[in-house]
Structure 1
Amino acid sequence: MAHPSSVITQVRREEEEGEENACLREEGSVAVSSSKKSYSRGFLHRLFSCLCNKDAKPPPVKINAPLSLEENRTKLPGEPLLPQIESNDEGKICVVIDLDETLVHSSFKPVNNADFIIPVEIDGTVHQVYVLKRPHVDEFLKRMGEMFECVLFTASLSKYADPVSDLLDKWGAFRSRLFREACVFHKGNYVKDLSRLGRDLNKVIILDNSPASYIFHPENAVPVASWFNDMSDTELLDLIPFFERLSKVDDIYDILRHQSTSQS
């Protein structure tokens, strides 16, 4: 069973040779597959959770268009990213879950078996985004929502990730959703700073395919292999028993350290 602590080098690749909207991602850095892909690179930087080259400046969210309320929202220094925990989630572990290449894979290129097609406006033009669900994602999210306070945290923009989440999360597993503006831009990467959530770190777990996303808190991570289109993948299904064990502990570090040691 492929599992939680198999930290792998992440590579965002093209689904097929010549796909104009793909980018390459390796250990948190992005390279464009060829010089003629510069236009599509801009799309990806503004929309999906592609990371930037080392020492690069944060790419603009939009060009020549006003920011949406969600994109323009800022937090005061020290203000938690999450609202006060709901009464029925008191005492539960908070599990932060990534979207792209963890739960779904999205592309501007038409896909015959897409689960969702999301219209997204970029610079005044509406583009269709084709979304594939990772196998067993429905079962995984339903069970996770029963056991944990689940939070969607993606480095993608809300205008793409929000409608995807509306269609993906049929059970209301995600109590909150956090998008790119909630990330910290650090050394060319969009990092998810768990200390800003407003939850005790010994009761916070992050599930993400990109180690760069949790570089501030690797000890809180359950790594997951990147997923693109392998319909035989069982990683989410295999993770359920592991999370069932985690849901019963008071301090997540002991079991995560043990798991990491056993897999090393």
Structure 2
Amino acid sequence: LLCEKYYYRGQALGGLREHLSCEDNLDHAAIIMACIMLSWGASSSEEFFQTVQGIFMILNREDVIPSRSDVVDLFLPVADDWQMARWCGNRSQLLDSALQSVTSLIKFVREKPTLLLAAKELKNFLINMRRLDVGRLTEPAQSKALFPARSWLPWLHALLGHMQDNDPFIVPFFANYEMVQMAHAIVLPRTRHLLALRRRALAIQWAGAKLGHGFAACNVHTSDVMQGPLLMANTYLASLDDNPTICIVG
């Protein structure tokens, strides 16, 4: 595994060097993917911060929109400060609702060991993230605070079995996963370039539509599990609208 890690790290670095050598015709998607791969393998918060700077650099270029690819499109548009302020104006409500939904998720999947372990980790991460004092964190420190998220990777692959079996529990679970990822931007607004917020919000809305009237398990209904994710997604998408009509999921 260690050899594989260094092999792919070398591949990413080689590709990054190649694409950066031609500044007049940068392959935006290739640079973003290389930076993402390197950030996953970062061994420290400082290394993580340095690798994600490549993503910020690409998304801030004036020519990135006309030449956008599917990969670049995942991250665009990036909300500006005014839009973020509108969305984060409901910070306490959004984070409280998120925590309630993750707590409901834990009860909902308690007979699914793999999902239960992952749901508990999501809750712990959300609780620890809420304790961060963003007022004392500079922009580099906010990006570095995302570094522990890489610890989620070991259990993400374990969920493939649930996905391949079309397990209905996987849809509300991943809606909560996307919600927790979006919550980063509420607590750490300077990380919003990295989080593909619009795509995550759309994925949550898709999950809500997919579930329809939903179902119950362990005396918990999917409507309880989805309340936080839908609130997070709907309010974010409304903040991008020039004339927003914010949908509060009750």
TM-score by length of 2: 0.30
> Which structure: larger Rg?
2
TM-score by length of 1: 0.29
Structure with greater proportional helix content: 2
